[in-house]
Amino acid sequence: MVDRHHRLRALLELQPEATAFGYVALVLDSSDHAAVLADLNRRGWLYLHDGRGLGPLAPAALPANLLGLQDDPYRSLVWKLKREGVIQAAPLIPFHEFRWGAWLRSRSLPPFSSERLEPALPAARALARSAAAAHLAGWKG
């Protein structure tokens, strides 16, 4: 699952028997789990950092299912900035939100959590609009 996996994880928490739809982004010839992960990693389609941004981890450290995903408050902050229109969607660039999150994590922001984004939002908005962020996919200026 390259995209919408956080949304699907939330759905699974609310209703484990729910049905969801997706699309096939890539078909690989191998059914060997390690080979598939290595191929996805080579393509940049694996985000191998934990909820605190530590990594990269080995592909084998990925959770066995979506319920094992860790919360990343910086990823939540980026989601909010996208919802507000501060950052554009970039659907053809896998994990661009995670790159934004890693970039914001390297900046000075007030303490916040996924449940309480408000303390960091003003500074995050200004940073996301700054020229320093121009190299990131979805930058609007």
pLDDT greater at residue 100 or residue 13: 100
83 and 37 within one domain: no
Q: Which domain-ending residue is among 19, 51, 68?
A: 68
Domain encompassing residue 114 = 73-133
The answer on 78 and 60 residing in a single domain is no
Q: Can you give the CATH number for the domain in which 114 is found?
A: 1.10.8
Dump pLDDT digits (tens) for 28-69: 988 898 898 888 888 878 878 888 888 888 888 888 888 888
Residue 103: name the closest of 71, 140, 77, 70 by CA.
Answer: 77
* Span 3-13, average pLDDT: 78
DSSP 87: B
Question: Higher-confidence residue: 118 or 14?
Answer: 118
**Residue 137 pLDDT:** 95
Is 138 inside a domain boundary? no
- What's the domain count of the chain? 2
Across 12-26, 67-81, 124-138, least confident range: 12-26
Q: Tell me the average pLDDT across 122-128.
A: 98
Give the Cβ contact number of residue 57 at 10 Å. 13
pTM for the predicted model, two decimal places:
0.79
Q: Return the number of other C-beta atoms located less than 10 Å from residue 36's C-beta.
A: 15
Q: Is residue 91 part of a domain?
A: yes
The single-letter DSSP state of residue 130 is S
**Residue 80 shares a structural domain with residue 64:** no
**Are 52 and 107 found together in one domain?**
no
**What pLDDT, on the 0 to 100 scale, is given for residue 88?**
96
For residue 99, being part of any structural domain is answered with yes
Classify residue 28: in a domain, yes or no. Answer: yes
Distances, alpha carbon 35 to alpha carbons 43, 49, 90, in Å: 12, 19, 27
User: How far apart are the C-alpha atoms of 54 and 104, rounded to whole Å?
Assistant: 14
**pLDDT tens digits, 86-123:** 999 988 787 788 889 999 999 999 999 999 999 999 99
Cα distance between residue 140 and residue 19, in whole Å: 35
